Amino acid sequence: MLHGHGDDGYRYGGQILADFSTNVWYGGEPAGLKEYIFGSWTDINRYPEVAAESLTAKIAAHHGLSGNQVLVANGTTESIYLIAQLFAGKKTTIVTPAFSEYEDACAMHGHEMQFLSWKECLELPRLKSDLVFICNPNNPTGFNFPDLRDWLRLNRHCVFVVDEAFIDFAPAAESMLEALGQFENLIIMRSLTKAYAIPGLRLGYIIAENEWIDRLLRLKQPWSVNAVALAAGSFIFDHFNAVQPPVEQLLMDKNELTNRLRQNEALEIEDSETHFFLAKTIIRNAAQLKTFLLEEHRILIRDAGNFRNLTRQHFRIATLNPEKNELLINAMEAWKTRYY
């Protein structure tokens, strides 16, 4: 899906006052990152490392792994498409609702797909698939999957691709990194764009046992991670403890925002364990709400109607600062007054 994602404000004329459509940390890149990147600017005069070797070593050391258990990628999207290519033609289960690129990548590489709802998967079904894509915590719902180890144990014939792009925003979620040595049927995807607000640089990584990493590296294009992204990743892991976003405060702000929005009779607000959450408009549909908010209030939301298993009324909100959250609350009141 080339279009239909969040953070699509570039498609609309005029200034966006508040962008709730992207679940990237709203506070911007870590302090000092810009200066570090420009200090490394002459690196763009040369080709970057073919397979991001130096950043691979830093990530592996950070997680207590060997370098052959890590593959650095041009964002999680490259990770998804590499994995789909590796398993081309296989039977694949996608846990829904889900990021559309799982399905698009599998379709590109001839997978035989089936879709299971999050609720169905909580019952830990036995699978007839070769591969599973699951996002934990889930995008777009923000829920954590509580029994992933048990599900992997029941389906050792099936490789689980666990997308942990939003794990930094969900303190209650259990990362599968600690389970890596227990399961050969586990591939973990991580993102460096969400928590550190650098989606324009495209940077992420895969963690798995060395057999999977070796096979993925045979498919990976050289130089897919550019020199600026490599510099950003190096800075993040060199200053890791200092660059973490204030997740506890962010989740408190999310709770305040959802509590306020629940007072609006025109909306249904769903629970979430991250800083973003799903909602429904009970009047008209989310596409019309998105247009109203853009034209009348210069606010952008994520129309979630194109997520499999969601409805035309669904939209996703990512928490911003209290001042911008107040803009959204007031704009939603105006929506209710106009059409309820």
List, for residues 276-298, the tens digit of each pLDDT value: 999 999 999 999 999 999 999 99
Cα-Cα-Cα-Cα dihedral sign, residues 252, 255, 260, 261: positive
- Which structure tokens are listed for 303? 């129309």
* Dist CA 220 CA 224 (whole Å): 8
pLDDT at 5: 53
| Beta pairing class for 131-135 and 91-96 | parallel
Q: Higher model confidence: residue 14 or residue 181?
A: 181
Supply φ then ψ for residue 332, to 5 degrees.
-70, -35
* 95 and 89 Cβ atoms separated by less than 8 Å: no
Residue type for 212, please?
W
List, for residues 263-274, the tens digit of each pLDDT value: 999 999 999 999
pLDDT at 129: 97
C-alpha dihedral (235, 9, 287, 323), degrees to nearest 10: 70
* Dist CA 188 CA 219 (whole Å): 17
Supply φ then ψ for residue 279, to 5 degrees.
-145, 165
C-alpha dihedral (70, 73, 75, 79), degrees to nearest 10: -80
Percent of the chain residues past pLDDT 70, beyond the cut: 96
Query: At 340, is the pLDDT very low, low, confident or very high (cuts 50, 70, 90)?
Result: confident
pLDDT at 15: 84
pLDDT at 287: 95
* 105 and 241 Cβ atoms separated by less than 8 Å: no
Grouping H, G, I as helix, E, B as strand and the rest as coil, residue 47 is: coil
| Beta pairing class for 70-73 and 91-96 | unpaired
pTM: 0.95
* 142 and 274 Cβ atoms separated by less than 8 Å: yes
Kindly list the structural domains of the chain, giving each domain's residue range(s) and its CATH number in brackets, ordered by start. Answer: 9-27+245-339 (3.90.1150.10), 33-242 (3.40.640.10)
Tell which residue, 101, 300, 74, has the closest CA to residue 201: 74
Q: Is residue 243 scored above 70 in pLDDT?
A: yes
* 137 and 166 Cβ atoms separated by less than 8 Å: yes
Q: How many alpha carbons fall within 13 Å on the CB side of residue 178?
A: 5
Which segments of 118-174 are extended strands (E)? 131-135, 159-163
List, for residues 91-109, the tens digit of each pLDDT value: 999 999 999 999 999 999 9
Q: How many alpha carbons fall within 13 Å on the CB side of residue 233?
A: 30
List, for residues 27-80, the tens digit of each pLDDT value: 999 999 999 999 999 999 999 999 999 999 999 999 999 999 999 999 999 999
What mean pLDDT value characterizes the chain?
A: 95
- Which structure tokens are listed for 178? 């600690």
- Region 293-317: mean pLDDT is 95
pLDDT at 2: 46
Supply φ then ψ for residue 107, to 5 degrees.
-65, -40
pLDDT at 3: 42
* 87 and 130 Cβ atoms separated by less than 8 Å: yes
- Region 128-137: mean pLDDT is 97
Q: Higher model confidence: residue 12 or residue 69?
A: 69
* Dist CA 205 CA 156 (whole Å): 23
Query: At 111, is the pLDDT very low, low, confident or very high (cuts 50, 70, 90)?
Result: very high
* 217 and 71 Cβ atoms separated by less than 8 Å: yes
* Dist CA 137 CA 157 (whole Å): 23
302 by Cβ neighbours in 10 Å (0-12 / 13-18 / 19+) ranks as buried
* Dist CA 164 CA 168 (whole Å): 8
What length does the chain have?
Answer: 340
Beta carbons within 8 Å of 28's beta carbon, 6+ residues apart: 197
Cα-Cα-Cα-Cα dihedral sign, residues 94, 96, 98, 100: positive
Q: Is residue 6 scored above 70 in pLDDT?
A: no
